[in-house]
Amino acid sequence: MTITSRNTPPRILVFAGSAREDSFNKRLARLMADRIDTLGGHATFIDLRDYPMPIYDGDLEADAGLPEHARRLKRLVMEHQGLAIACPEYNGFITPLLKNTIDWVSRPDGDLGGLAPYANKVAAIAAASPGGLGGLRALPLLRQLLSNIGVTVLPDQLAIGGAGQAFDEDGSLADEGQLGKLDGICQRLVTTLDTLHRT
């Protein structure tokens, strides 16, 4: 069901935990952004390749503060009400890229508190992998990490296995059942944010 009457569409920042050019998770994140827009939200897709940062190091932070890309990203997260994240599984865990990004963004920047960007955010999570489990083992860890920093994570999630065959030429999911599940997650994110932010 698409929302037809309400306030400004909820703003949702969408990204993948992979910088790889042909990343399956970037494909999935782009598809989530497309479905969010179609279902009544306003998605902003970003590529973490455009936000390179060093591995977090307390001495770097003490000497020079946050890297410029971390500061930009921190403000970008602040400007959105929701998050949609597609993350690869590396050895059963989330990627260092995603963890490092979330860590830098969780650091204070001047008057802006460390966890301020994450406060009252709602997130949808998904994964894609060439393997059979689709990255399923990393999703509870991503869920836990986001919960630790104050983000409410929707109970629904999707792990796409056999990712090399899962996407069609248009970037959509070939399997209608999987696409329906993804739509359900995106719709729930939009509806939840719309309800929370209704004035």
Ligand X SMILES: Cc1cc2nc3c(=O)[nH]c(=O)nc-3n(C[C@H](O)[C@H](O)[C@H](O)COP(=O)(O)O)c2cc1C
- Judged by CB under 6 A, the residue of 52, 54, 92, 180 near ligand X is 92
Question: Residue 107 gets which letter from DSSP?
Answer: S
- Contact positions with ligand X (CB under 6 A) in 26-85: none
- Contact positions with ligand X (CB under 6 A) in 6-35: 16, 18, 20, 23-25
Read off the tokens for 6.
Answer: 């309400």
Q: Find the part of the chain contacting ligand X (CB under 6 A) among 56-64, 105-113, 128-136, 148-156.
A: 128-136
Helix (H, G, I), strand (E, B) or coil at 1: coil
User: How far apart (Å, rounded) are the C-alpha atoms in residues 101 and 96?
Assistant: 8
- Judged by CB under 6 A, the residue of 90, 149, 150, 152 near ligand X is 90
Main-chain dihedrals φ then ψ at residue 16, nearest 5 degrees: -115, 155
User: How far apart (Å, rounded) are the C-alpha atoms in residues 125 and 155?
Assistant: 9
For residue 94, the minimal CB distance to ligand X (Å) is 10
Query: Is residue 171 close enough to count as binding ligand X by CB under 6 A?
Result: no
Sheet holding 152-160, edge to edge: 42-45, 11-16, 82-86, 122-128, 152-160
Nearer to ligand X, 48 or 185 (CB): 48
Query: Is residue 89 close enough to count as binding ligand X by CB under 6 A?
Result: yes
Nearer to ligand X, 126 or 190 (CB): 126
Helix (H, G, I), strand (E, B) or coil at 60: helix
Nearer to ligand X, 117 or 135 (CB): 135
User: How far apart (Å, rounded) are the C-alpha atoms in residues 51 and 33?
Assistant: 19
User: Which chain residues interact with ligand X by CB under 6 A?
Assistant: 16, 18, 20, 23-25, 88-92, 129-131, 133, 135
